[in-house]
Amino acid sequence: MSLSPPLSQTPHTERHFRASNMVRDIVIGVADGLTVPFALAAGLSGAVASSRIIITAGIAEIAAGSVAMGLGGYLAARGDAEHYASELLRERQEVQVTPEQEAAEIVAVFEAYGVSAEQSAPVVAALRTNREAWVRFMMRFELGLELPEPGRAVQSAVTIACAYIAGGLIPITPYFLAVGINALYISIAVTLLALAGFGYLKGGLNGTPRLHSAVQTLLVGGTAAAAAFILARAFS
């Protein structure tokens, strides 16, 4: 009697990428840093002949833009944290004051996933014995809110500001090395290459096809840069 070979005992590994908030902040900062300073420098290049003026204006814009973007990221993260804290307090009060209604909401959450009230009854009973776990469950599955990371606001501000500076220096650098129309052409080339390269790296981080991400970022960023360039030229 032959025995069938044993089943493989190789553990199954889940390969799901969860894009962190830091990755999102880097994307926001670099994308804006590449387009806005480029548009300013390109627009000025048609109005002034001095690369020094273009460089000075570009550096000033990068400084102001990084501060503004970083402040925006800080306020957004602070707003998320304050909203979470407010909803957490309200949910704790509801669990204490109207437990039966909150228990019914747990059942409704499970029913949305195709789990009947009878099937979810043991889970409901278990959650009712642990009020903090009950509140966390309601925050996550009823309201769709995640606990904010500690220090998220400051981290977001610094990350976005630094990413903006890194992105903004790319289209400005050619004006340090070349003059006149040559600097503009070089700036256009390096900005487009940077957009494509950034999209390629972003695709790898997000787990999406790298080439598709590179082309998409190049088209979207290039369109935004072109629109900003046309406006800058129109008013220069």
* pLDDT given at position 62: 92
1: pLDDT confidence band, cut at 50, 70 and 90?
very low
Whether the predicted pLDDT of 233 surpasses 90: no
* pLDDT given at position 181: 64
pTM of the model: 0.75
Average pLDDT of span 71-93: 90
Average pLDDT of span 11-23: 59
Average pLDDT of span 129-147: 85
179: pLDDT confidence band, cut at 50, 70 and 90?
low
- State how far the Cα of 194 lies from the Cα of 140, in Å rounded to an integer: 38
Share of the chain above pLDDT 70, in %: 85
Other CB atoms within a 10 A radius of the CB of residue 114 amount to 7
* pLDDT given at position 11: 53
- State how far the Cα of 221 lies from the Cα of 38, in Å rounded to an integer: 11
Q: 210 near 203, Cβ under 8 Å?
A: yes
**Lookup result for tokens 């704790």:** 92
- Residue 66 buriedness (CB in 10 A; 0-12 / 13-18 / 19+): buried
**Lookup result for tokens 């050619």:** 174
Whether the predicted pLDDT of 16 surpasses 60: no
* Lowest-confidence pick of 15-24, 148-157, 180-189: 15-24
Instruction: Return mean pLDDT, the chain.
Output: 81
47: pLDDT confidence band, cut at 50, 70 and 90?
low
Q: 34 near 195, Cβ under 8 Å?
A: yes
